[in-house]
Amino acid sequence: MLVAGSYFLFWNHTSVPETSDVSATIQSFSTEPMEIMAIEEVEEDWVAFFKDDKRMYVGLLKRNLIGQWRLADGLGNEGPIGEVLLKKDNQANGISWGVSGLSKGDERLYSFYYGSISNPEVDEVLLSVGGRKAEAVQFIEGEKDRFFFLRETEKPVPYEFTAIADGEIIDTES
């Protein structure tokens, strides 16, 4: 029995997150049907992108004590770190993007920048934070869409997203 328990814990602590892990943790905070769009390791974080009919969500996946994957915000709270309304005007360009932050009291810990691109014509998305020069974000390839996720320690204002297709700016947000 001890060997089986040890194997279970070892397996849970060495496995990568799967769609079933994300589905299980989503059920704890939402009764809406969700589509899991992508799970990817970004730097040191596992990130999940999922959506319902109205919103796209992004969440960090963390292991609990027995090695099961759960959506967590970095402070021990379960759930997504951000969400974006899937607006018709954003969807016309095939782009949904958002910004959220994580604070502890008055101390800003992180700002998160994330998005989904369903438009195959979009060549790149540029992000400028705090007046710095805009830089291209790295895309995460999903089954249908492309995604991006960045974590910054700077405050999120001012920021600007710019989407480029065929050398032309097709959408911006700041």
Contacts by 81-86 with C-beta closer than 8 Å and gap 24+? Answer: 81/112, 82/57, 82/58, 82/112, 82/114, 83/55, 83/56, 83/57, 83/58, 84/55, 84/56, 84/114, 84/115, 84/116, 85/54, 85/55, 86/51, 86/53, 86/54, 86/55, 86/56
Residue 57's H or E segment, with its range, is strand 55-63
Q: How many domains does the chain have?
A: 1
Q: pLDDT by residue (tens digit) across 104-140?
A: 777 777 889 999 998 999 999 999 988 889 999 999 9
Q: How many residues does the chain have?
A: 174
pLDDT score of 125? 95
On the CB side of 19, how many CA atoms lie within 13 Å of its CA?
8
pTM value surpassing 0.75 = yes
What average pLDDT does the structure give for the chain?
84
Indicate whether 7 pLDDT > 50: no
Domain with 133 in it: 2-173
